[in-house]
Amino acid sequence: MKAVACSILVFFSWSHSNIGDIGITPGLLRLLERHVPEAEVTIVANTRADATREYLQERFPRCKVIASPFRVHVLENSPEFQEAFDRADLILYNSGTTLSYGRWERNWDRTMPLAMPLFMAREAGKPYGIYCQSFERFAWPSDVLFRPLLSDAAFVFCRDTNSLDYLKSLNVEPPVLEFGPDATFAFDLRDEERAAAFMERYRLKPRGFITLTIRTSVQKFIDKEREEAHAAKLRELVNRWVKETGLVVLICPEVRHEIEPARRLIYEPLAPEIRRNVRLKEEFWLPDEAFSVYRQARCIVSMEMHSIILGLAAGTPTIHPRFVEAGRKAWMMRDLGLEEWLFDLDEQPADPIIEALLDVHNDYDAALGKVESAMNLVHKRQAETMAIVKKTLAEAEADRSGK
């Protein structure tokens, strides 16, 4: 009799308007392909299942993609989902910040559908694990639900130790509770042809430009006053970079709807003599192309964490001017030994951010060495966390065989 392959059901594949959200799932698929190649993997797409399927299966033809029956204000009966769930030996929840109720507002209808697969797994007696989430807040009464849910998981990996400490403070006690890097650190897809055309079109030379990615009030986390204060500091960074190095700044998006704010807040207010050395990417891109361009940048400067992650994965130094509402995930810079490249854009003036950028430029070999050390730690933890995923899966298979 032919052996039944082990099966992993992965939740969730996120939105299509953010290269960070897009890049998380290919990162996890690459890790599973490398460390658990025998597993059948089914991805549950939270939005646009057809588009997710087209994107992922071109690159990972063995993976399956199905639509989620759990979406905000929508609950659908799905035999396809139920069949995949029943078949799964392991329910694996991917990286993000989704298992947090009360982070910004108390939207029960948003949080609970995203957690339902874990409640279902516990009820069915299936092993389940959380692969590298940040945990911001469990406001009352969600802690009553989430403490036992997370404690009953086979493993919980936090992508920053700040979240890890938070869960420990809540007495969350699964068998394995450890730091594990965001799955996007394993992203390695490239679109060299499109990147080469882009570099030629925008007159960019390898290691002769930095990228700048902003985050504004359009995403509802900050108000217009803080948006302008952040932009003023980043314009100062652009001005000094161009004046002191003569090199180029590429303003590029992580999120589709940040393109026009970047034009208005950063590009258009620049003096003409500065703007000559500044490029504005006016179209959204996929992470494959972004990754190929990031590989050739001198430094990534980004308010968005996943462009920082993609940059480090591509081997490029990164500067992360954060704001507090973006959450605990920024502290992964500290966890990887890169805290000197982490800044608070509200609390700190532009000067120390600019000086850190110029230090990277002026001692580039040292900066590349710091990236290499950080990624060595990432690769070590990826192997260790995947060993636990593999062990959990083997135990589930043994249990299935014994029944």
Instruction: Tell whether 267 and 394 lie within a shared domain.
Output: no
Q: Are strands 90-93 and 128-133 parallel, antiparallel or unpaired?
A: parallel
Instruction: Tell whether 290 and 356 lie within a shared domain.
Output: yes
User: Domain for residue 40, yes or no?
Assistant: yes
Instruction: Tell whether 319 and 397 lie within a shared domain.
Output: no
Q: What is the mean pLDDT of residues 337-350?
A: 98
Instruction: Tell whether 150 and 228 lie within a shared domain.
Output: no
Q: Which positions ≥6 away from 63 have C-beta within 8 Å?
A: 29, 41, 42, 43, 56, 57
How confident is the model at residue 73, as a pLDDT?
61
Q: How many C-beta atoms lie closer than 10 Å to residue 310's C-beta?
A: 28
Instruction: Tell whether 181 and 212 lie within a shared domain.
Output: no
User: Domain for residue 373, yes or no?
Assistant: no
How confident is the model at residue 4, as a pLDDT?
54
Instruction: Tell whether 225 and 126 lie within a shared domain.
Output: no
Check pLDDT > 60 for residue 306.
yes
Question: Among residues 34, 33, 39, which one has the least CA distance to residue 4?
Answer: 39
User: Domain for residue 371, yes or no?
Assistant: no
Percentage with pLDDT > 90 across the chain: 90
User: Domain for residue 384, yes or no?
Assistant: yes
How confident is the model at residue 62, as a pLDDT?
95
Radius of gyration of the chain (CA): 21
Total domain count, the chain = 2
How confident is the model at residue 72, as a pLDDT?
61
User: Domain for residue 206, yes or no?
Assistant: yes
User: Domain for residue 367, yes or no?
Assistant: no
Instruction: Tell whether 153 and 210 lie within a shared domain.
Output: no
Query: 143: domain CATH number?
Result: 3.40.50.2000
Check pLDDT > 90 for residue 2.
no
Instruction: Tell whether 182 and 202 lie within a shared domain.
Output: no
Indicate the residue type of 76: E
Check pLDDT > 90 for residue 103.
no
DSSP lists the bridge partners of residue 70 as 75
User: Domain for residue 201, yes or no?
Assistant: yes
Predicted confidence (pLDDT) per residue in 179-230, tens digit: 999 999 999 999 999 999 999 999 999 999 999 999 999 988 899 999 999 9
Between 69 and 398, where is the model more confident?
69
Domain encompassing residue 199: 192-362
Instruction: Tell whether 126 and 216 lie within a shared domain.
Output: no
How confident is the model at residue 109, as a pLDDT?
84
DSSP lists the bridge partners of residue 156 as 130, 177
Check pLDDT > 70 for residue 3.
no
How confident is the model at residue 23, as a pLDDT?
97
User: Domain for residue 368, yes or no?
Assistant: no
Check pLDDT > 60 for residue 286.
yes
Instruction: Tell whether 398 and 292 lie within a shared domain.
Output: no
Q: Which positions ≥6 away from 110 have C-beta within 8 Å?
A: 72
Question: What is the spatial distance between Cα 174 and Cα 166, in angstroms, rounded to a whole number?
Answer: 14
How confident is the model at residue 213, as a pLDDT?
98
Instruction: Give residue 105's pLDDT band: very low, low, confident or very high (50, 70, 90).
Output: confident
Instruction: Tell whether 348 and 384 lie within a shared domain.
Output: no
Instruction: Tell whether 149 and 218 lie within a shared domain.
Output: no
Check pLDDT > 90 for residue 401.
no
Alpha helices in 10-78 (DSSP H): 19-35, 49-59
Check pLDDT > 90 for residue 321.
yes
Predicted confidence (pLDDT) per residue in 12-60, tens digit: 999 999 999 999 999 999 999 999 999 999 999 998 999 999 999 999 9
